[in-house]
Amino acid sequence: MKKSIIAVLIIVLGGLFFGALGVTAEEEEEKKENGTIMTISPPRQKIVLVPGETFEGSITVSNAVDSSSALKYSVTIGSFGLHKDENGKSDYEDSDLETVTGYNQIMDWIKLGKEKGTIEPNESDTVPFTITVPSDAPAGGQYATIIVQNDSSAEGSGDGSVSIQNVVRFASTVIAEIAGETRRSGEILENSIPAFVFSSPLPASSTVKNNGNVHTDAKYSLQVWPLFSDEEICTNEEEPTESLIMPETERLHVEECNLPAIGIYRAKQTVEIFGEKSVMEKTIFMCPLWLLFLIVFVIVALVIWIVTKTKNKKSHKQSERKEEVAE
């Protein structure tokens, strides 16, 4: 029994030594070609609009197909807002099917300069648009998307257009603020760092809520150090991650940091929205689950060994006393 325990202890110490040397390797997902046939720019436009005035803008559509075929495309206006996927995860995305909210009125104000076009290989096309803001437009945020997709009807047309079976679409998001009385307030509902992590990366999560009627960018920074060192393992303090938070919505955000497989670390996450700031600091224990089970096994084995040895000593003493009495 004693030899078995010693052997297990050697395995644990060996695992701690080699685990501390190595960094958990991330398996990079293979990038699959998604058949991108075009690009649009800018992907996002932040503008300030004045009631009663007209804004003029444009997007650029480029044919990225390196061939002798032209590309036909169409342009539409869609909404932009908070949507939930089948797993309940919330995110902002374009959609021309979802119910339009009070923050999507701008869809009716946008007029496209063209709704269809054809682009030769490696060439670009400009799509102008105007936004005519009603004089009684409510102050605050307004959001829409200018959606560009390939015209699948081009297949088999015989006019030299590229033959496309899959519909590919991109969106340029219009993020507008209507001048007037705006409310800018928010709150940080959660700022959390786990104390125990079984595998890299370390996830630091936070949830913020925009209580105002205009969008903002929440800022997130995560710093991690070894327990007894001030040399940062990872940090984005100088350039915090920024995430768009739309009016009257909550959004979950996760910052990550890749850590060595085994160790004890100090972590600090700072979250900010509309001037409100939350700082969370915590000591992190990083240990693979298999090693945790092994440590528990060793502890249990040691306890059993100590209890067994104690009982054997008591039994041996009792036997000696009986022998002395018998004599």
State the CATH number of the domain containing residue 51. Answer: 2.60.40.10
pLDDT value for 91: 64
One domain for residues 172 and 45: yes
Distance CA 43, CA 169 (A): 12
One domain for residues 229 and 203: yes
| 180-238 pLDDT tens trace | 999 999 999 999 999 999 988 999 999 999 999 999 999 999 999 999 999 999 999 99
Report whether pLDDT(321) > 50.
yes
One domain for residues 193 and 174: no
| 69-109 pLDDT tens trace | 788 999 999 988 866 555 545 566 655 445 567 899 999 99
The one-letter code for the residue type at 35 is G
CB 189 within 8 A of CB 226: no
Its domain, for residue 166, covers 38-178
183-213 burial, b for 16+ CB within 10 Å, e for fewer? ebebebeebebeeebeebebebbbbbbbebb
One domain for residues 157 and 104: yes
pLDDT value for 243: 92
Evaluate whether residue 9 is within a structural domain.
no
Evaluate whether residue 173 is within a structural domain.
yes
One domain for residues 135 and 192: no
Q: In total, how many domains does the chain have?
A: 2
Strand order in the sheet with 186-192: 186-192, 202-210, 249-257
CB 198 within 8 A of CB 288: yes
221, β-bridge pairs: 270
One domain for residues 101 and 231: no
One domain for residues 150 and 201: no
Evaluate whether residue 113 is within a structural domain.
yes
| Percent over 70 (pLDDT), the chain | 74
Evaluate whether residue 293 is within a structural domain.
no
Evaluate whether residue 265 is within a structural domain.
yes
Q: CA nearest 21: which of 226, 263, 225, 223?
A: 263
One domain for residues 104 and 233: no
pTM: predicted TM-score of the whole model, two decimal places: 0.70
Of 144, 159, 178, the last residue of a domain is 178
Residue 10, classed as helix, strand or coil, is helix
Distance CA 255, CA 268 (A): 11
One domain for residues 69 and 170: yes
Of 134, 149, 178, the last residue of a domain is 178
